[in-house]
Amino acid sequence: MNEQPTTITVIGCGYVGVTTAAILSHCGYMVYAIEVNPERLNILKQGRSFFYEVGIDPLIAHSTQRGSLVFTDNYTEALSKSSVVFSCVGTPDNPDGSSNLSYVFTAAKQAAEHIAQDAIFVQKSTVPVGTGQKVERIFKDAGATISYVSNPEFLRESTAVIDTLWFDRIIAGSNDTSAAERILDIYRVVEKQRDTIASLAKLETPENPPATQYIHTTQSSAELIKVSANAFLALKISFANSIAKLADAAGANVVEVMEAVGADRRIGRAFLNAGRGYGGGCFPKDVSGLIRSAQDFGVSMEIMQAADDVNNAMPGYILTKAQTILPQKSWKDVECTVLGLAFKSGTSDTRKSPAIAIANLLRRNGARVKAYDPQAIEEATHDLSPEIELCTDLAVSLQNSSCVCIATDWSEFQNIDWAKTNVQYVIDAMNCLEPASLPNNITYIGIGR
C-alpha cells in the first residue's frame, strides 16, 4: 500500500458526498465536507443528515463530535490542507435530457483556486464520457498541478452505507497509475474497517457479501462504466415491464416468468421486477444523459430511448389497466389512496418518482386522491397536484377509500389489515403483495400477474 493521505475534502453533501465523508472519517482520515446550501449545512453541522438514510446519522454524529468530520462552506481552509479531494456534486439533467455539468465545473473552478500542489482530484459525480478532460483543463488553466482520477460511485439510496462498505468493485480511471493506486488504497482501508463502521451505524453485515474487485482503468472507460451500469439496470427494468404487458395480455404471471428467467446465471434475477418503473435522481437522467452524450459522438442509442419510453408509459399503463376493471370504467370521483411517494422504499427522495406521476395522473383522470408516505411527504409536496390530500397517518389515509394504489413498496404496507378497511380494489404497482393474502371481497390488480 502507498503512503496514505491524512486529510481529505469532499465537495458536495448529497447522498454520495455525505456517505463518503462520513465513512472516510471513520477510517483514520480527517475529512472536510463542503456544502454551500446554508440550510443543509446547518443541519449537517448539528451532527445529522438532512435526508433519510438508514445508518448515516450515527456515523455523522460520532465523527463530528470527535472532530474527524467537519462540515463547512469554506473551500480555502479545507482544500489547502487536503491531499485528496472528492468531487460529489449533483449532475441533474437539462430540459433536453443532457447532463447539467455546471456544478461539476463550478466545483472544479473553486477547487483549482485553493487546492494544494500535487493533490489528487477525484471525480465521483456521474458525468458523461469525456468530461474528465474538460475538468483537467480547468485546473491547467488555473495553474494548479493535480492528478485526476475518475472514481464513479455505485451506492444506492436506502442502502448507501452498506453499499459503500461492501462494494462489488472500485473503479479508478486515470492516466496516473500512482494516483489511481492511492485512491484504490483508500477503499482498501474502508474494506478493513467495514465491520466496525457497520456496527457503529447499527447495520447488519450482508449475508452474502460480494467479492470485491479493485479496477484501474482509463479515465474515459471509468466514466463510461458508471453510465453503462445504470443504463443496463434501467434496460432490465424496462424489459421486465415490456414482458409484464405481454403477460397481462396472454394471462401469464411476470413474477414467475422473471424468477425462472433470472435463474439463468447469465441473466440474473436482480432488477427484473416489473411495476411502475424506475425513478430517482439517477436512472432517468443517466439514461437521457447517455442518449445525448452518444449523440455528441455521432452514435445513436435507440435501445436506451426505447427503455425510457417504456418507463415513462408505465404509470399510464397501470391506471388504464385498473380502470377497465373498475365497475364504472372511469376514475371520475373514485376515492383512491396512493401509498408511497418516494422513488423507492427506504428513502425520502421523490425526484422523478413514478409514484408521484401515478398520484397526479389519478387526479387528472378525476379521482379524489389521498396520499401517504412514511418519509417522503415533505419532499413530495412540491411535485404533487395541490388537489391531492396528503396524510401523515396510514390509517387515516385509508379511511373511506374504495381503491388503493401501492406505488412504493414500504414494508409497513405488508401489514395492513385490509379486512378493517372499506377498500375494494388494490392496485399493486410494485407487485409487492401476495394476492392470496387479501380478503376475498378485494379485487387485486397487479402488473403482469
Which residues carry out catalysis?
Answer: 282
Quote the least distance from Cβ 172 to ligand UGA, whole Å: 16
Answer yes or no whether residue 317 interacts with ligand UGA by CB under 6 A. Answer: no
Is the Cβ–Cβ distance between 2 and 77 less than 8 Å?
no
Task: Write the CA distances from 331 to 257, 271, 328, 336, integer angstroms.
Answer: 31, 31, 8, 9
Quote the least distance from Cβ 282 to ligand UGA, whole Å: 3
Quote the least distance from Cβ 311 to ligand UGA, whole Å: 8
- In the bound state with ligand UGA, the residue whose beta carbon lies nearer, of 82 and 241, is 241
Question: From the list 344, 351, 363, 368, which residue makes contact with ligand UGA (rule: CB under 6 A)?
Answer: 344
Please give the radius of gyration of the chain, using alpha carbons only, rounded to the nearest integer.
23
Answer yes or no whether residue 126 interacts with ligand UGA by CB under 6 A. Answer: yes
Question: From the list 115, 198, 233, 257, which residue makes contact with ligand UGA (rule: CB under 6 A)?
Answer: 233
Helix segments in 280-364, DSSP class H: 283-296, 302-325, 354-364
Q: Is 230 helix (H, G, I), strand (E, B) or coil?
A: helix
Answer yes or no whether residue 357 interacts with ligand UGA by CB under 6 A. Answer: no
Q: Which stretch binds ligand UGA (CB under 6 A): 203-211, 229-237, 329-337, 385-393?
A: 229-237
Residue 359's identity, in one-letter code, is A
Strand partners, 71: 33
Q: Which stretch binds ligand UGA (CB under 6 A): 213-221, 269-277, 288-296, 439-447?
A: 269-277
Quote the least distance from Cβ 46 to ligand UGA, whole Å: 25
Footprint (CB under 6 A) of ligand UGA, residues 6-45: none
Q: Which three cell numbers stand for residue 224?
A: 463510461
- In the bound state with ligand UGA, the residue whose beta carbon lies nearer, of 5 and 284, is 284
- Cα separation, 437 vs 158, whole angstroms: 27
- In the bound state with ligand UGA, the residue whose beta carbon lies nearer, of 154 and 418, is 154
Task: Write the CA distances from 272 to 163, 281, 288, 357, 410, integer angstroms.
Answer: 20, 20, 20, 21, 18
Question: CB burial class (10 A; 0-12, 13-18, 19+) of residue 176?
Answer: middle
For 139, the enclosing helix (H) or strand (E) is: helix 131-141
Number of residues that bind ligand UGA (CB under 6 A): 21
Q: Of 161, 192, 63, 173, which Cα lies nearest the Cα of 120?
A: 173
Residue 323's identity, in one-letter code, is Q
Q: Which stretch binds ligand UGA (CB under 6 A): 18-26, 213-221, 245-253, 276-284?
A: 276-284
Residue 196's identity, in one-letter code, is T
Is the Cβ–Cβ distance between 391 and 372 less than 8 Å?
yes
Answer yes or no whether residue 428 interacts with ligand UGA by CB under 6 A. Answer: no
Quote the least distance from Cβ 65 to ligand UGA, whole Å: 28
For residue 316, the tally of other CB atoms under 10 A from its CB is 13
Strand partners, 156: none
State phi, psi for 312 to the nearest 5 degrees. -65, -25
- In the bound state with ligand UGA, the residue whose beta carbon lies nearer, of 115 and 233, is 233
Question: From the list 50, 105, 214, 271, which residue makes contact with ligand UGA (rule: CB under 6 A)?
Answer: 271
Task: Write the CA distances from 250 to 237, 243, 275, 449, integer angstroms.
Answer: 20, 10, 17, 10
Answer yes or no whether residue 284 interacts with ligand UGA by CB under 6 A. Answer: no
- In the bound state with ligand UGA, the residue whose beta carbon lies nearer, of 28 and 210, is 210
Answer yes or no whether residue 341 interacts with ligand UGA by CB under 6 A. Answer: no
- In the bound state with ligand UGA, the residue whose beta carbon lies nearer, of 75 and 239, is 239
Answer yes or no whether residue 359 interacts with ligand UGA by CB under 6 A. Answer: no
Question: From the list 147, 164, 174, 230, which residue makes contact with ligand UGA (rule: CB under 6 A)?
Answer: 230
x-or-dash string of contact with ligand UGA, 160-199, rule CB under 6 A: ----------------------------------------
Strand partners, 389: 370
State phi, psi for 389 to the nearest 5 degrees. -85, 120
Answer yes or no whether residue 342 interacts with ligand UGA by CB under 6 A. Answer: no
Q: Is 190 helix (H, G, I), strand (E, B) or coil?
A: helix
- Cα separation, 34 vs 9, whole angstroms: 7
Give, in degrees to the nearest 5, the angle at Cα 447 between 441 and 448: 110
N- to C-terminal Cα separation, the chain: 53
Q: Which stretch binds ligand UGA (CB under 6 A): 53-61, 149-157, 214-222, 371-379?
A: 149-157
Is the Cβ–Cβ distance between 332 and 364 less than 8 Å?
no
Question: From the list 53, 93, 136, 157, which residue makes contact with ligand UGA (rule: CB under 6 A)?
Answer: 157
Question: From the list 14, 55, 132, 280, which residue makes contact with ligand UGA (rule: CB under 6 A)?
Answer: 280
- In the bound state with ligand UGA, the residue whose beta carbon lies nearer, of 64 and 350, is 350
Q: Is 446 helix (H, G, I), strand (E, B) or coil?
A: coil
Question: From the list 18, 237, 358, 371, which residue makes contact with ligand UGA (rule: CB under 6 A)?
Answer: 237
Question: From the list 275, 374, 446, 448, which residue makes contact with ligand UGA (rule: CB under 6 A)?
Answer: 275
Residues that bind ligand UGA (CB under 6 A): 126, 153-157, 230, 233, 237, 271-273, 275, 277-280, 282-283, 343-344
